[in-house]
């Protein structure tokens, strides 16, 4: 667990540790952008805070982080509610596998959902966003294992082949949803360069019909350099900033 003090205040030592790791990450991102000949201003770093306490999110927000990622609705909803009064400009990105019965809740606090992988989710998110009077950026999650001709990773989700287009079309025609682009996780044991190249190919197919879907959510703590080289616009980075996650409960 983190060294957050009771009462939800980040201990000064924890805040300093997060600040130091954030600086290292910013350096990595700047170097990756330079190596790829890209403007670092094109890159949004989403700090994935799942399993870490709200006190850590507060410390990160105090350090200037504006985009945070979460993978479970219950945990995310509680943190978003706790942080909203002090940090109303924080943007919550939902990056985990999503069930239709959670969409209504997610639409109340999330600015973006990175894990849209089937039409039923699109309908549920659209209904939730309408009920909340909000707009939601949506990324269609691509299963790169299947795109590369391998078995699906059931723990990860994601659409493949023509289903990517089908989900993208559904998002684009749902009033309160905006089709931001595509998202993927490089399959375990796969060369990330080869994996992200498959994502870029899928993005090309989607952009043929949706030229505004220019965003690519790819790259985590271990492979962000490859993602930046491939053209990622959103990096989802957890452990490089927060440390090793406590085991899933
Ligand atoms: C947890 C998670 C991340 C962050 O992973 P790290 O390896 O800790 O950087 C990124 N994307 C998704 C979808 C995640 O679930």
Beta carbons within 10 angstroms of residue 93's beta carbon: 26
121 lines ligand 1 (CB under 6 A): no
Mean pLDDT of 183-198: 96
Nearest atom (ligand 1) to Cα of 156: 13
> What does each C-alpha distance from 248 to 34, 155, 188, 243, 245 come to in angstroms?
36, 13, 18, 14, 8
Looking at residue 151, what is its pLDDT?
Answer: 87
Question: What separation, in Å, do the N-terminal and C-terminal C-alpha atoms of the chain show?
Answer: 12
238 CA to centre of ligand 1 in angstroms? 6
Q: Provide mean pLDDT across the span 146-168.
A: 92
Of ligand 1's listed atoms, the one at least distance from the Cα of 114 is 13
User: pLDDT band at residue 132, thresholds of 50, 70 and 90?
Assistant: very high
Is-contact 93 67, C-beta < 8 A? Answer: yes
User: 73 vs 3, 8, 19, 79, 92, CA distance in Å?
Assistant: 24, 20, 26, 10, 11
CB 87 within 8 A of CB 49: no
Residues 6 or more apart in contact with residue 223 via CB below 8 angstroms? 186, 192, 196
> 47 - beta bridge partners?
68, 237
- Asked if residue 76 has its Cβ within 6 Å of ligand 1, the reply is no
Q: Is the pLDDT of residue 2 over 70?
A: no
Residue 19 three-state SS: helix
Tokens in use for 32? Answer: 């990756």
Q: By the 8 A CB rule, do 92 and 104 touch?
A: no
For the record, the structure tokens of 213 come out as: 């879907």
pLDDT in tens, 30-76: 999 999 999 999 999 999 999 999 999 999 999 999 999 999 999 99
**The two three-digit tokens of residue 137, written as one number:** 């950026």
Q: What average pLDDT does the chain have?
A: 94
pLDDT single digits (tens) 103-126? 999 999 999 999 999 999 999 999
Treating both helix axes as pointing N-terminal to C-terminal, what angle do 162-172 and 192-209 enclose, rounded to 10 degrees? 50
Please indicate whether residue 242, judged by its CB atom, sits closer than 6 Å to ligand 1. no
| 155-167: average pLDDT | 94
Q: Which residue has the higher pLDDT, 209 or 189?
A: 209
For ligand 1, is residue 237 a contact (CB within 6 Å)?
Answer: yes
Whose C-alpha lies nearest to ligand 1, atom 11? Answer: 236
Task: Give the count of beta carbons closer than 10 Å to the beta carbon of residue 186.
Answer: 23
Question: What pLDDT, on the 0 to 100 scale, is given for residue 228?
Answer: 98
- Does 238 contact ligand 1 (Cβ within 6 A)? yes
State in Å: Cα 59 to ligand 1 middle. 19
Q: pLDDT category, 10, cuts 50, 70, 90?
A: low
Give the mean pLDDT of 206-211. Answer: 98
From the CB of 185, is ligand 1 less than 6 Å away?
A: yes
Share above pLDDT 90 across residues of the chain, in percent, rounded to a whole number: 89
With beta carbons less than 8 A apart as the criterion, state whether 193 and 199 touch: no
Nearest CA to ligand 1 atom 12: 95
Is residue 175 classed as helix, strand or coil in its secondary structure?
Answer: coil
- Position 7 pLDDT exceeds 50: no
Select from 25, 71, 144 the residue to mutate for testing ligand 1; criterion: most ligand atoms less than 8 Å from CB. Answer: 71
Instruction: Please give the pLDDT value at position 1.
Output: 45
From the alpha carbon of 236, which atom of ligand 1 is closest?
Answer: 10
Following CA atoms 140, 143, 144, 146 in sequence, which dihedral angle do they give, to the nearest 10 degrees? -140
């Amino acid at each position: 667990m983190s060294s957050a003090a009771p009462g939800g205040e980040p201990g000064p030592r924890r805040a300093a540790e997060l600040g130091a790791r954030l600086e290292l990450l910013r350096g990595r991102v700047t170097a990756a952008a330079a190596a790829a000949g890209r403007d670092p201003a094109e890159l949004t770093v989403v700090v994935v805070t799942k399993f870490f306490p709200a006190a850590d999110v507060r410390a990160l927000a105090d350090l200037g982080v504006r985009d945070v990622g979460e993978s479970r609705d219950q945990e995310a909803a509680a943190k978003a509610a706790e942080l909203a009064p002090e940090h109303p400009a924080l943007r919550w990105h939902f990056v985990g596998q999503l069930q239709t019965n959670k969409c209504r809740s997610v639409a109340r606090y999330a600015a973006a959902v990175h894990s849209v992988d089937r039409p039923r989710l699109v309908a549920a998110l659209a209904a939730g966003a309408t009920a909340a009077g909000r707009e939601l950026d949506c990324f269609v999650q691509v299963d790169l294992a299947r795109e590369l001709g391998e078995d699906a990773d059931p723990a990860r989700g994601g659409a493949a082949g023509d289903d990517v287009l089908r989900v993208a079309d559904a998002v684009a025609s749902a009033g309160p949803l905006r089709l931001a682009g595509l998202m993927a996780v490089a399959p375990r044991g796969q060369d990330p360069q080869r994996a992200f190249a498959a994502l870029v190919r899928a993005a090309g197919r989607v952009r043929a019909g949706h030229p505004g879907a220019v965003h690519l959510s790819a790259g985590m703590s271990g492979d962000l350099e490859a993602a930046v080289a491939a053209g990622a616009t959103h990096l989802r980075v957890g452990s490089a900033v927060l440390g090793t996650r406590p085991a899933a409960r």
